[in-house]
């Protein structure tokens, strides 16, 4: 597939998406958000792709924020629609994707960039990564899920501090707070994420998809996560992957999930 602002490739069972706007520090504009939706959907619809890694081009930035020039003159209705559409086609879409997404945070992840990383199922940062939600310094608030996902990951108090101060935190602090899972050298970032993805690809994609639904249910208003877990657990018993996984265990061999 050809994209204006993305690099899109696959390696065996892993899909790679690279936001490629280096002159803008990979800032998210309308076109990039739309292309990201298409790219994620394409990989998710491909049964051979069992994990996706999202990163930014270059060594300076994952995504340094949204392209402010596109919405500086918006009114209330336009701003509301900007957040609603963006959350629908990208940020919520990624969070609820059945294929696991790893964010390889290679540098600045600010505003919409951090919100994209938080929408991924987990995050690995390079040692030079800087993360923050600086929106209040522009007179707005995070509009792509930042006020919701950041407290889920780091707690209410830390989220309040990050959002109210509009400050940035480094990779090690982000790890201490639970915002990222690992911190590695820049040169090791993609190989490390690829190794994590390879571990994922050895397991049942059907079961992983069910686990994503159950975990996300706990963070959805009005939904009982335990009930979703019970439902998805039961559904698993009717899958070919369950038959293969249990048979492989009993026969003392490695499972072969299609």
Q: What is the pLDDT of residues 164-182, one digit of tens each?
A: 999 999 999 999 999 999 9
Pairing of strands 14-19, 6-11: antiparallel
pLDDT tens for residues 12-30? 999 999 999 999 999 999 9
Confidence of residue 137 (pLDDT cuts 50, 70, 90): very high
Structure confidence at residue 69 (pLDDT): 86
Q: How far apart are CA 51 and CA 49, in angstroms?
A: 6
Percent of the chain scored above 90 by pLDDT?
Answer: 95
Give the separation between CA 143 and CA 148, rounded to whole angstroms. 10
More confident residue, 70 or 230: 230
Catalytic (active-site) positions? 115, 135
Q: Which two tokens stand for residue 175?
A: 């790890």
Rounded to whole angstroms, the Cα distance separating 172 from 180 reads: 9
Q: Is 199 exposed, middle or buried (0-12, 13-18, 19+ CB in 10 A)?
A: exposed
């Amino acid at each position: 597939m050809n994209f204006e602002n993305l690099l899109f490739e696959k390696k065996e069972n892993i899909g790679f998406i690279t936001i490629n706007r280096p002159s803008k520090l990979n800032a998210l504009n309308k076109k990039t958000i739309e292309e990201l939706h298409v790219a994620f959907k394409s990989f998710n619809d491909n049964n051979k792709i069992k994990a996706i890694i999202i990163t930014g081009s270059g060594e300076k930035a994952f995504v340094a924020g949204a392209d402010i020039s596109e919405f500086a003159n918006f009114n209330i209705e336009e701003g509301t629609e900007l957040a609603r559409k963006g959350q629908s086609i990208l940020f919520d879409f990624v969070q609820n994707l059945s294929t696991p997404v790893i964010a390889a945070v290679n540098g600045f992840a600010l505003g919409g960039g951090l919100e994209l990383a938080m929408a991924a199922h987990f995050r690995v940062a390079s040692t030079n990564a800087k993360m923050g939600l600086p929106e209040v310094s522009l007179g707005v608030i995070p509009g792509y899920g930042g006020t919701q996902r950041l407290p889920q990951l780091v707690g209410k108090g830390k989220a309040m501090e990050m959002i109210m101060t509009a400050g940035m935190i480094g990779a090690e602090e982000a790890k201490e707070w639970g915002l990222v899972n690992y911190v590695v050298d820049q040169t090791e970032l993609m190989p490390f994420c690829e190794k994590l993805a390879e571990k994922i690809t050895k397991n049942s994609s059907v079961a992983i998809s069910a686990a994503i639904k159950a975990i996300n249910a706990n963070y959805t208003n009005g939904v009982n996560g335990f009930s979703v877990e019970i439902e998805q657990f039961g559904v698993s018993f009717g899958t070919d992957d369950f038959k293969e996984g249990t048979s492989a265990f009993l026969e003392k061999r490695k499972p072969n999930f299609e």
